[in-house]
Structure 1
Amino acid sequence: MSYPPDPNNPYSQPPQPGYGYPQQAPPAAGYGYPQAAPMQAPMYGYPPAVPQSMPGMVVTSRVLLFIIGAVQIIGAGIILTGAAVTKTVTDRARDSYESDPFGGFGGAATGVLVVVGIVALLFAVFSITLGVKFGQGGPAVRITTLVYGSLGALWGLVMFLGSFANKVNPAPGFVFAVMWLAVSILMIVGMSTRDGVAWFARPRY
């Protein structure tokens, strides 16, 4: 039979948990004991910072879209003016000779020029509208601009190769093709950079 230890006996051992004495719970945190910091899950990456203003390459792409739209408007005006002149010359020649001296070529050329001029005007409106959307547009605007720049680069490459077919003076076509290629590549780069992606993916309220 076991007896409880005498508290007045200095040689007696302190009571052990489980031998007739209840085990005491550890002191709660906050009563003189520091509380352990909660464990945090390790972070293996940080989300890209949301740009507060439009990044430089995005601004460049936007300005280039406006410039392209202006050039397309000027080109459309020149083409439609040429269509009007062609129609006037054809009508006067028909009135003078009481028949079409061009064999119908004048009317066909006028129709082609009108269609090309209208298409150029539509592209001008599209370019300017796309540039305006850069302020509040989302990922769809970025992807559309990326595709637009890629098609422009392809067209610039075609013009670049076609400039060598002009044996008389290939310089104007060559310079224009190089400039068009450079503009298209700048637009592609502006839409592909990390800042550009973050700008169009930012939350809009």
Structure 2
Amino acid sequence: MRSGAPNGPYDCPGRPAGTDMPGLMRGARALLFVMGGMQLTVGVLVAGLLAGVIANNGGSIADAVAVVGVLLGLGALSIVLGTKFASRGGGVRVTTIVYASLMIVACLGSLGLGDGFGPIFTGGPVIGLACSGIILASMVTAQAGAWFNRPR
């Protein structure tokens, strides 16, 4: 590479070199967006199904609101975490680790229950377990530590 040339395809003269997000972080971020989108979609579908069941059977609306609230809340959290990857700070990393860990526990629990609870989380327990495991493994690497602890 010649002297004075940019260090990478996206580097420009006024920008410090090495400010591109590492590949592991981009992959974890993409999985967070995918999981969030799936959770929001399933949350809306479950809301519609539960509304129909409650209307027909006179069931408890509080249970329906709780299930839909959890799904929509997890989906929103996943998307917010994905968007915060570009900002700095260990809080995003720690929250992502906790989120992925809770998703792993929920998916393992739904695999153990075998009662169809799994589709609530990311389209099924196996898919959720794989995505959450990849996110968790990406967040505990030295690359993730360096990315989230870089100078502000």
Which range, TM-score by smaller chain?
A: 0.7 to 0.9
What is the TM-score when the length of structure 2 is the normalising length? Answer: 0.77
Question: Structure 2: any 5+ residue segments left out of the alignment?
Answer: 1-16
Instruction: Quote the residue 1:198 is aligned against.
Output: 146
Partner Cα distance (1:140, 1:153) in 2 = 20
Task: Name whichever structure is richer in helix by fraction.
Answer: 2
Q: What are the equivalent positions in structure 2 for 1:23-172 lying under 5 Å apart?
A: 51-90=18-57, 106-108=58-60, 110-163=61-114
Is the Cα contact below 8 Å between 1:51 and 1:198 reproduced in 2? Answer: no
* Matching residue's letter, 1:149: A
Report sequence identity in percent: 34
Residues 30-55 of structure 1, C-alpha deviation per residue, up to 9 Å, x if partnerless? xxxxxxxxxxxxxxxxxxxx942111
* Matching residue's letter, 1:71: M
Instruction: Quote the residue 1:184 is aligned against.
Output: 132
Partner Cα distance (1:176, 1:83) in 2 = 19
Partner Cα distance (2:89, 2:18) in 1 = 14
* Matching residue's letter, 1:146: I
Query: After the TM superposition, which parts of structure 1 deviate over 6 Å for at least 4 consecutive aligned residues?
Result: none
1:153: how far off? 1.1
Is the Cα contact below 8 Å between 2:36 and 2:78 reproduced in 1? Answer: yes
Residues 160-186 of structure 1, C-alpha deviation per residue, up to 9 Å, x if partnerless? 2223x68xxxxx89x922211111110
Is the Cα contact below 8 Å between 2:88 and 2:150 reproduced in 1? Answer: no
Q: Cα RMSD (Å) of the superposition?
A: 2.3
1:88: how far off? 2.7
Partner Cα distance (1:147, 1:51) in 2 = 28
Report which structure shows greater RCO (CA 8 Å, sep ≥6).
Answer: 2
Residues 47-86 of structure 1, C-alpha deviation per residue, up to 9 Å, x if partnerless? xxx9421111111111111111111111111121122212
Instruction: Quote the residue 1:94 is aligned against.
Output: none
Partner Cα distance (2:112, 2:54) in 1 = 32
Partner Cα distance (2:130, 2:124) in 1 = 10
* Matching residue's letter, 1:191: M
**Partner SS, residue 133 of structure 1:** helix
1:134: how far off? 0.2
1:118: how far off? 1.7
The structure that has the greater radius of gyration is 1
Is the Cα contact below 8 Å between 1:51 and 1:195 reproduced in 2? Answer: no
Question: Structure 1: any 5+ residue segments left out of the alignment?
Answer: 1-49, 91-105, 167-171
**Partner SS, residue 124 of structure 2:** helix
What is the TM-score when the length of structure 1 is the normalising length? Answer: 0.59
1:127: how far off? 0.9
